[in-house]
Structure 1
Amino acid sequence: MLSIVMLIVDTAASVLAGVLLLRFWMQAIRVRPPSSVAQFTFQLSDWLVRPLRRIVPGVGGYDWASLLGAFLIVLLASSVLFVAGLPPETVLLMALHRFLNWILYGFMALLVIEAIFSWINPHAPTAPFIRALNEPLLRPLRRVVPLVGGLDLSLLVALILLQIAQLVLGMLFGGR
């Protein structure tokens, strides 16, 4: 029964936290989303971000309220484990681990979406937006990874590096 509850809670939490992380990333790298993405993102997250901004204002051009909101959603989703009998410090560590993992998964998803766009429809209306979201990750790699037969392999290298980061994160958190 706990597995079913966790599945439902995790699904809802991952969508909401993903939107909050996207909102943070868009503002951090100063990317203007297409109107449909902006409308979805802001309508789904304003109820949490606006009150949090009173507590945590944006500093240095970053929307810290969105990032904090994403962590709070992950913590709330993880609190189901507290109800299941785990100690609070374990639940907090698990929430931090899940939060960092979700950030890595978000970057991986953006890279996969960009790859799909490049194969299927590079001129799709949201393709430039996805490319702009990935550019801060890919730019440093493109300086080091040469084109092979005219193909840009920096996307593949970025995916591998993100998976390595996940493995390291797993080791740091003891396999949680």
Structure 2
Amino acid sequence: MLIVDTVAGLLGAVLLLRFWMQAIRVRPPSSVAQFTFQLSDWLVRPLRRVVPGVGGFDWASLIGAFLIVFLATSVLFFVGAAWQTVLLAALYRFLQWILYGFMAMLVIEAIFSWVNPHAPLAPFIRALNEPLLRPLRKVVPLVGNLDLSLLVALILLQIAQLVLGMLFGR
């Protein structure tokens, strides 16, 4: 089951990253783009025939990520569970993946800011986080010269995780 969960997590993360990059119109570095598109085109391209992009969003990537989590959840439940139970568990895991993905991007940005703010991937990660941090930066003042909006965003995402767990009875 660990292998199924790991493979599904990697594919889901790539599909969610692909959706987010296109939703906020961030152009990835060529190495990231090549990795993302090669790993996900097998699912996204056929889905685009059925689910076209609407409103500037790549819905095929988002639906593909949900299909991956649904299949992985089905395998983890194996047999014996009602499809409604599997669907709710998949929805819970899907929303968890989204929140964990945002948390991971914030942690990566924090690491870049401490270790090497001029790393080649640092501007890309900053651009991915900007839609999350921009509204917080308007509210959270600088303390000294420290931008605490990243920390506030992480705390808010953890609160969202707790609320999600309460909503789904976990």
| 2:24 corresponds to 1:45 | no
Q: Residue 122 of structure 1 aligns to a residue in which SS?
A: coil
1:1-176 correspondence to structure 2 within 5 Å:
5=1, 7-175=2-170
- Displacement of 1:84 in angstroms is 4.1
**Deviations for 1:4-46, whole angstroms, at most 9, x for unmatched residues?**
x2x1111000000000000000000000000000000000000
- Displacement of 1:81 in angstroms is 3.4
AA of the residue aligned to 1:34: P
AA of the residue aligned to 2:163: V
Structure 2: how far apart are the matches of 1:31 and 1:123? 18
Moved more, 34-43 or 86-95: 86-95
AA of the residue aligned to 1:68: I
- Asked if the contact 1:20/1:45 (under 8 Å) is kept, the reply is yes
- Displacement of 1:145 in angstroms is 0.2
**Deviations for 1:72-122, whole angstroms, at most 9, x for unmatched residues?**
000000001342422211111000000000000000000000000000000
- Identical amino acids, percent of aligned pairs: 85
Structure 1: how far apart are the matches of 2:91 and 2:78? 18
Structure 2: how far apart are the matches of 1:94 and 1:80? 12
**Deviations for 1:27-72, whole angstroms, at most 9, x for unmatched residues?**
0000000000000000000000000000000000000000000000
Unaligned runs of 5+ in 2: none
Q: TM-score, normalised by structure 1?
A: 0.95
- Displacement of 1:172 in angstroms is 0.4
AA of the residue aligned to 2:28: P
AA of the residue aligned to 1:166: Q
